[in-house]
Amino acid sequence: MPVFTGEVRRQLDELLTRYPTKMAALLPALWIVQRERGWVSDGGMTEVAELLELTPAYVKGVVTFYTMYHQHPVGKYFIQVCTTSPCGICGAEDVVKALLRHTNAGDLGLTSPDGRFTVIEVECLGACGFATPVMINEEFIESVTPEKVPDLLATLA
């Protein structure tokens, strides 16, 4: 099943008007694939390559450069915890431990057995004054402490 049909295709066509080259729409097109499918598969990359007149190998080279494109399926809730120095000195490691414990994800990068949670460490989320920031999918949560983790997870369906 192709991703770019109907309304989604129209979104890509609108994006293409913003740039002088088709290739410039590559990052936005990959974002659309991830939004629609939850991750960017080889098939998704090939489809984008055809639409933008690139080779699948080129697209894969770009996908693998960036950290935010998922190259395999992840949990329903993808949780990113900032542990870079400013958050590190404010206790980010303990937030990671609490998240791993309460989600049952096991280890960083793994998905919990119920398929709900994947937890990863991320480099600087750019919200250092609100240590520790955590991103759950598209949502950005500031000032998370280990004590707040159970309530935070309880809000997720």
Partner 1 sequence: MGYPNLPHQRETTVLSQYFGDAEARTLAGWKKRGGYKALEKALGMAPADIVNVVKESGLRGRGGAGFPTGMKWSFMKPGDGKPHYLCCNADESEPGTFKDRELMRWTPHALVEGCAIGAYAIGAETAYVYIRGEFTEPLHWMEEAVKEAYAAGIIGKNAMGSGKRIDVHVHKGAGAYICGEETALMNSLEGRRGNPRIKPPFPAVSGVFGMPTTINNVETLIAAAPILLNGADWYKKMSLSNPKSTGTKLFSVCGNVQRPGTYEVVMGFPFKEFLYDLCGGPAHGRKFKAVIPGGASVPIQTVEEAEATLMDYEGFVAQGSMLGSGGVIVIDDAQSMVSVIARIARFFAHESCAQCTQCREGTAWTTKIMERIRDGQGTTEDLDTLLDIADQMTGKTICVLSDSCAVPVVSGIKKFRGEFEALIQGRRFHPVVAAVA
**Residues 78, 156, 108: CA angle, nearest 5 degrees:** 30
Of residues 85 and 104, the one with the C-beta less far from partner 1 = 85
62 binds partner 1 (CB under 8 A): yes
28 binds partner 1 (CB under 8 A): yes
Beta carbons within 10 angstroms of residue 48's beta carbon: 24
Helix spans in 23-67 (H): 26-37, 42-51, 56-63
Among 1, 89, 154, 157, which residue sits at the site for partner 1 (rule: CB under 8 A)?
89
Cβ atoms 69, 59 nearer than 8 A = no
Element spanning 14, H or E: helix 6-16
127 binds partner 1 (CB under 8 A): yes
56 binds partner 1 (CB under 8 A): no
Interaction site with partner 1 (CB under 8 A): 18-21, 23-28, 30-31, 52, 54, 61-62, 65-69, 80, 83-86, 88-90, 122-131, 135, 138-140
